[in-house]
Amino acid sequence: MIQQRLAALRSIMKREGWDAVVVPGSDPHGSEDVPERWMLRYYMSGFTGSYGDIVVTQEHAGLWTDTRFFIQFAKELGDTEYVLHKLRVPEAEPYPDWMVRNLPAGCRVGIDGTCMSVAEVESLKEKLKAIGGTVVNRPDYIDELWPDRPETPNDAIFVLDDTFTGRSTADKLSWLRKELASRECDSMMLSSLDEIAWVLNIRSNDVLYTPVVISYLLVEPQSATLYTNLAKITPDVKAYFDANGIVAMPYGEAIKAFDTLPEGERMLMDGTKMNFAMFSQGREVLGERLTDGTSPVVLEKALKNDVEIAGFRKAYLKDGIAQTKFFKWLEETLAAGERPTEMDAADKMASLRREQGNYLEESFAPITAIGENAALPHYQPTHNACSIIEPKGLYLLDSGGQYLEGTTDITRTVPAGPLTDLERIDYTLVLKGMIGLSAAIFPKGTRGANIDVLARIPLWKAYRNFGHGTGHGVGHVLCCHEGPQDLRQNVYDQPMLARMITSVEPGLYREGMHGVRHENMILCVEKGQNEFGDWLGFETLTCTYIDPSPCVTELMTEEEKSWLNDYNRSVYTRLLPWLSEEEKRWLRSKTIDNELPVESPTDDKWDDE
């Protein structure tokens, strides 16, 4: 099937005179998780990973992706003609550079400009200048290959009440208009679905695991227009829109919005997020009246207000209740001689989350992995293809939930049975890294790349490493992955700021053996001021115990052992009112009764040996 689709694509390329074609991995809104209609990468390759771009020529089919998916590529595409091009490694060659080396002079490259950002297309065009190449934009070229391509979703929109958001839509629109005025702009066209949902306090089910609305939003001085599927708007939502000066228009009309702007009106669009086709139309109509600049919504959305922070705390308390019940169930199920599958475990976890109030859905496809499967950072089992959990080695569960109070994301690695010495050492080193970053104190203005090393020092000292980032922002009842902050080695010009909520999730992966990852969610908080400046640190929000039993205590400092004991004691205390007597006893056995021995505080917190 995949080979037939490649052959059909190459026929189109030959007819159109394209030397290469780019198959993007996103949608018109730059989403990480996309509706079925825009699963172009999967349709053309069968690759289920959440990141990567495809380039096809008459002689070559390549997938460019990063370290999280190298093993997955081999499993899913190993029997196809696709070639893996590795990103985020020292020898990485992005696909525009590969094109310059491999395409003929004067080449023509076909793209779907609705699914590629302005920044991405402009970078490609600039690279191709070296060989006289050009980019040809043909939106939805894949329609010819995909006769039964799904339509855009039409699930109803619902309003997220101010009691959960902490800010009204009127307040957010007023703030945004002031921000635009400060940049000498009158209006803004937004395309990022999480930004639109945040501004209007609306949610829907258009993207699996992410409650956003497929739409564009035009904000003007006196009005706002939401371009979406009108079938999604109920009478209650219509009344809400009317009360806030919001007009709904068909999704396909967004491309015509530029023609209706008043004479002289200046518009802001974010070229790093807006798709090339929409931006190009705006530039053609508005000319110099179109300003390309960073969306002010990105940072404002990342700085959680008091209501959102309280909601996150409640959501992680709910997760802690559900996960305590889950890990107790898993341990007792295995002890009773039963052998659940990885997906049995995922289903059980989801069912326990559903028992918590205000639960919507999972926040991403769960990564449930035993043994060597956990060596794939983004392993994706299905009910038709998954492993049995045997009582030996390490079991990893990376999962999360969407609650009306907040979005959760948590990873725990636990012993399913007896462990090898190597598994225990790896478990301990990764945990040391998570503790080191969670306990960090740093000056205001510090970027994520400056403190990412704290999660890697214990691994590097033992000549170990992991290839993915250490942490990402998380949205409020929105995307599980959110910017602008990041904890990774790549340098991004965004300092960590108080009120940002970010994951900390170092890992270690041994192909064919095991994988370890520990993940908590941390809130950046102010720690104090002195003559040396303003200081920040982190508060851990996650409320699920970390199993101390696999730890090699000789590798841990007294401070690290104290941190783990204190954390587990806090988890036990916070969850106590919500558990049955049997669950309390079980959790106590994992926390209070299982504390690591601590001799005396160390003067040097980084003395690992």
169 in the same domain as 42: no
231 in the same domain as 100: no
Tell me the helix, strand and coil percentages in the chain, rounded to 5: 40, 20, 35
* Strand 442-443, strand 533-540: pairing: antiparallel
**384 domain-assigned:** yes
**407 domain-assigned:** yes
- Whole-number average pLDDT of the chain: 95
| CA-closest candidate to residue 391, choices 326, 338, 329 | 338
Tally the domains of the chain: 3
Q: Among residues 100, 117, 144, which one ends one of the domains?
A: 144
Q: Domain range holding 454?
A: 306-594
pLDDT one-digit tens code per residue, 530-559:
999 999 999 999 999 999 999 999 999 999
463 in the same domain as 563: yes
Q: Among residues 294, 315, 350, which one ends one of the domains?
A: 294
**601 domain-assigned:** no
CA distance 243 to 398: 41
**311 domain-assigned:** yes
**150 domain-assigned:** no
| CA-closest candidate to residue 56, choices 44, 48, 72, 66 | 44
Q: Among residues 294, 327, 361, which one ends one of the domains?
A: 294
**440 domain-assigned:** yes
Place of tokens 């295995």: 334
- Dihedral sign from CA coordinates of 529, 530, 534, 540: negative
CA distance 151 to 145: 15
Whole-number pLDDT of residue 606: 42
Q: What is the pTM of this model?
A: 0.91
Q: CB of 508 within 8 A of CB of 429?
A: yes
Place of tokens 């990468």: 41
**Helix (H), strand (E) at residue 344:** helix 342-354
586 in the same domain as 471: yes
Whole-number pLDDT of residue 601: 56
Query: Alpha carbon 15 to chain centroid distance?
Result: 38
312 in the same domain as 245: no
- Dihedral sign from CA coordinates of 26, 27, 33, 39: negative
CA distance 517 to 506: 6
CA distance 523 to 503: 9
178 in the same domain as 46: no
CA distance 164 to 75: 42
CATH for 423: 3.90.230.10
| CA-closest candidate to residue 296, choices 445, 183, 164 | 183
CA distance 547 to 596: 10
Where on the phi/psi map is residue 314: left (φ > 0), alpha (ψ -120 to 50), or beta? alpha
CA distance 125 to 602: 56
Which pairs count as long-range contacts for 600-607, CB under 8 Å and 24+ apart, including other chains?
Answer: 600/558, 601/558, 601/559, 601/562, 602/557, 602/558, 602/559, 605/439, 605/557, 605/559, 606/457, 606/557, 607/557
168 in the same domain as 120: no
Task: Tell me which DSSP letter residue 255 carries.
Answer: G
555 in the same domain as 478: yes
356 in the same domain as 417: yes
**62 domain-assigned:** yes
102 in the same domain as 18: yes
**Helix (H), strand (E) at residue 248:** strand 246-250
CATH for 44: 3.40.350.10
245 in the same domain as 325: no
Q: Is the peptide bond before 484 cis (omega within 30 degrees of 0)?
A: yes
262 in the same domain as 212: yes
Tell me which residues of the chain have a pLDDT lower than 70: 600-609
**Helix (H), strand (E) at residue 195:** helix 193-200
**152 domain-assigned:** no
